[in-house]
């Protein structure tokens, strides 16, 4: 296993990590098997945002006896209320939820204390200037958390955090589907050579470079786009990528230290670990995308944002992204449901004016997508 510096934290993290979200749908024995496979392979970073008591306890049991081998990302603001996940900034809920995390994981400290899921700029400022961040800072001063991080899907929020001097690292969604803005013509034009941005949307490319300059490390969530990139019919590129190619894409972004892949089984762990011994040809994602069918994007949302502005204020790309991720799962994850609920405006606000469809360069039937999203997240 290869290890990388996580920004200026002084921590060295395995470039393949464990995103534990999917483990909440497995038995105690299955959780232990996955965690042990990761541990034996040298994986040393674990993200636990989930508030569910059972999965927290299962993870605690799985790392018992070798807690010191793990760098844990634990989240502030992810709570369990009335048997379900609720993201909140209410301190009377935040504090006991974090204390529960410590108790169930069997530890008295968290390496990376994450301000959980901030995707709106207004909320970012409220969090950073209020009692929520003050609580995180007090925990750091006591040594209960060693470093303060923040999780977000929004590059604008990530930029503010990276520039703040208060946030030491980010948990951010990185994959080709979220990063790239292909032209309606040939995909190959996006890969015009080392002088360009490798086809990455400018805002996101600039974020990665900013984080590298500031010494703000990035750990990666959604590295597989919820599995969408493994299916040529679901991928916006019209070709299937492998776990190795997806991991290589993320690890070649500036400031990225670790890809926190989600695993249901030990076999999934092995599929990610294959990266460590993969050849350059096996890692090569660019050639696969270069050779993608010319019309692969037709009707596929690439989250490029050209459909905006929406008169109802809907972030159409984000609604479609969450909807696509949800469709890849057998059951709707509570995390996606909560992300959707947190949007200021969602598919229910669509007035079906059709302006977005006229602006979309890929012929996406946006109104149909909004109707579908309403059904998924009802």
**Span 234-253, pLDDT tens digits:** 888 888 999 999 999 999 99
Domain edge (last residue) among 290, 324, 341? 290
CATH number at residue 234: 3.20.20.100
For 118-136, write each residue's pLDDT tens digit. 988 999 999 999 999 999 9
Choosing from 290, 308, 336, the residue where a domain stops is 290
* pLDDT for the residue numbered 293: 64
Taking alpha carbons only, the member of 22, 87, 32, 18 closest to residue 330 is 22
**Average pLDDT of the segment spanning 198-209:** 87
59 and 25 in a common domain: yes
Q: Is residue 325 part of a domain?
A: yes
- Name residues whose C-beta falls within 8 Å of residue 58's C-beta, 6 or more positions apart in sequence: 23, 28, 31, 32
CA dist 61 → 21, 29, 82, 138, 180 (Å)? 16, 10, 24, 28, 40
Q: Are 206 and 214 in contact (CB under 8 A)?
A: no
Average pLDDT for 308-318:
92
How many other C-beta atoms are found inside a 10 Å radius of the C-beta of residue 159? 19
pLDDT at residue number 370: 97
List, as one string, the DSSP characters of 215-242: T-EEEEE-TTGGGGGG-TTTSTTSSPPP
Query: Quick one: 322 and 233 in the same domain?
Result: no
* Banded pLDDT at 188 (limits 50, 70, 90): very low
Residues in the chain: 378
Q: What integer pLDDT is reported at residue 321 of this predicted model?
A: 87
Residues 53 and 114 in one domain: yes
Is there a contact between 240 and 247 (Cβ–Cβ < 8 Å)?
no
Highest mean pLDDT among 26-40, 308-322, 328-342, 360-374: 26-40
Residue 176 sits in the same domain as residue 243: yes
Q: Evaluate whether residue 134 is within a structural domain.
A: yes
Mean pLDDT value across residues 171-197: 58
Mean pLDDT, rounded, for 310-336: 88
Asked if 114 and 252 sit in the same domain, the reply is yes
Structure tokens given for 132: 């929520």
- Check whether residue 269 and residue 330 sit in a common domain: no
Q: Quick check: is 307 in a domain?
A: no
CB 288 within 8 A of CB 180: no
Q: Identify the pLDDT of residue 132.
A: 98
Q: Between the CA atoms of 125, 19, 197 and 166, what dihedral angle is there, to the nearest 10 degrees?
A: 30
In a shared domain, residues 126 and 67: yes
pLDDT surpasses 50 at 189: no
Please check whether residues 115 and 162 belong to one and the same domain.
yes
- Summarize the confidence of residues 140-168 as an average pLDDT: 97
Residues 247 and 371 in one domain: no
* Predicted local confidence at residue 287, as pLDDT: 87
Q: What is the pLDDT of residue 180?
A: 79
Confidence of residue 187 (pLDDT cuts 50, 70, 90): very low
- Average pLDDT in the chain: 90
Note the pLDDT of residue 332. Answer: 87
- 306 inside domain: no
Q: If you average pLDDT over residues 192-203, what whole number do you get? A: 58
Q: What confidence score (pLDDT) does residue 360 get?
A: 84
Q: 199 falls in which pLDDT band (50, 70, 90)?
A: low
pLDDT band at 179 (very low <50, low <70, confident <90, very high): confident
Domain annotation covers residue 332: yes
Instruction: Answer whether residue 34 shows pLDDT above 50.
Output: yes
> What pLDDT is attached to residue 195?
33
pLDDT at position 68 is: 97
Report yes or no on 214 lying in a domain: yes
CB 209 within 8 A of CB 254: yes
pLDDT value, residue 233: 84
Does 332 or 350 have the greater pLDDT score? 350
Could you give the CA distance from residue 276 to residue 16 in angstroms, rounded to a whole number?
9
Q: Residue 311 domain-assigned?
A: no
Decide: helix, strand or coil at residue 133: helix
350 and 248 housed in the same domain = no
Looking at the fold, whether 324 and 176 belong to one and the same domain comes out as no
d(CA 86, CA 50): 10
Whether the pLDDT of residue 184 is over 80: the answer is no
Residue 145 has pLDDT above 80, yes or no: yes
pLDDT band at 296 (very low <50, low <70, confident <90, very high): low
pLDDT band at 181 (very low <50, low <70, confident <90, very high): low
Is 297 within a domain? no
* % residues pLDDT > 70 (the chain): 92
Mean pLDDT of 318-325: 90
State mean pLDDT over 350-357.
Answer: 95
Confidence band for 192, pLDDT divided at 50, 70 and 90: very low
3-state DSSP assignment of residue 125? helix
Domain span at 333: 316-376
Is the pLDDT reported for residue 193 higher than 90?
Answer: no
pLDDT (mean) for 70-87: 93
pLDDT value for 23? 92
Q: Are residues 134 and 274 in the same domain?
A: yes
- 369: phi > 0 → left, psi -120 to 50 → alpha, else beta; which? alpha
Please report, rounded to a whole number, the percentage of residues in the chain having pLDDT higher than 90: 71
Our count of domains for the chain comes to 2
């Amino acid at each position: 296993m290869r290890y990388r510096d996580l920004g200026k934290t002084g921590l060295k993290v395995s470039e393949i990590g464990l995103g534990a979200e999917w483990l909440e749908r497995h038995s105690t024995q299955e959780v232990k098997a996955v965690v042990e496979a990761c541990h034996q392979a040298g994986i040393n970073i674990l993200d636990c945002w989930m508030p569910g008591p059972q999965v927290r306890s299962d993870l605690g049991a799985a790392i018992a006896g070798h807690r010191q081998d793990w760098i844990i990302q634990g989240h502030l603001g992810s709570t369990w209320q009335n048997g379900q996940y609720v993201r909140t900034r209410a301190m009377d809920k935040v504090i006991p939820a974090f204390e529960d995390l410590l108790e169930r994981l069997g530890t008295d400290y968290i390496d990376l204390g994450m301000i959980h899921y901030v995707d709106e700029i207004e909320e970012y400022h409220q969090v950073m200037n209020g009692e929520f961040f003050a609580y995180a800072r007090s925990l750091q001063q006591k040594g209960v958390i060693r470093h303060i991080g923040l999780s977000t899907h929004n590059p604008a929020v990530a930029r503010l955090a990276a520039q703040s001097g208060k946030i030491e690292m980010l948990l951010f969604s990185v994959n080709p589907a979220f990063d790239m803005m292909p032209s309606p013509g040939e995909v190959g034009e996006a890969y015009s050579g080392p002088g360009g941005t490798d086809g990455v949307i400018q805002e996101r490319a600039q974020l990665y470079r900013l984080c590298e300059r500031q010494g703000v490390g990035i750990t990666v969530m959604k590295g597989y786009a919820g599995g969408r990139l493994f299916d040529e019919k679901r991928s916006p590129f019209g070709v299937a990528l492998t776990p190795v190619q997806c991991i290589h894409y993320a690890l070649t972004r500036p400031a990225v230290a670790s890809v926190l892949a989600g695993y249901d089984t030990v076999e999934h762990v092995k599929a990610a670990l294959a990266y460590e011994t993969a050849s350059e040809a096996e890692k090569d994602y660019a050639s696969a995308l270069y050779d993608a069918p010319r019309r692969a994007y037709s009707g596929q949302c690439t989250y490029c944002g050209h459909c905006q502005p929406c008169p109802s204020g809907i972030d159409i790309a984000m609604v479609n992204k969450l909807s696509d991720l949800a469709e890849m799962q057998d059951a709707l994850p509570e995390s996606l449901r909560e992300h959707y609920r947190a949007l200021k405006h969602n598919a229910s606000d669509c007035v079906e004016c059709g302006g977005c469809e006229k602006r979309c360069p890929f012929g996406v039937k946006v109104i149909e997508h909004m109707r579908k999203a309403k059904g998924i997240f009802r």
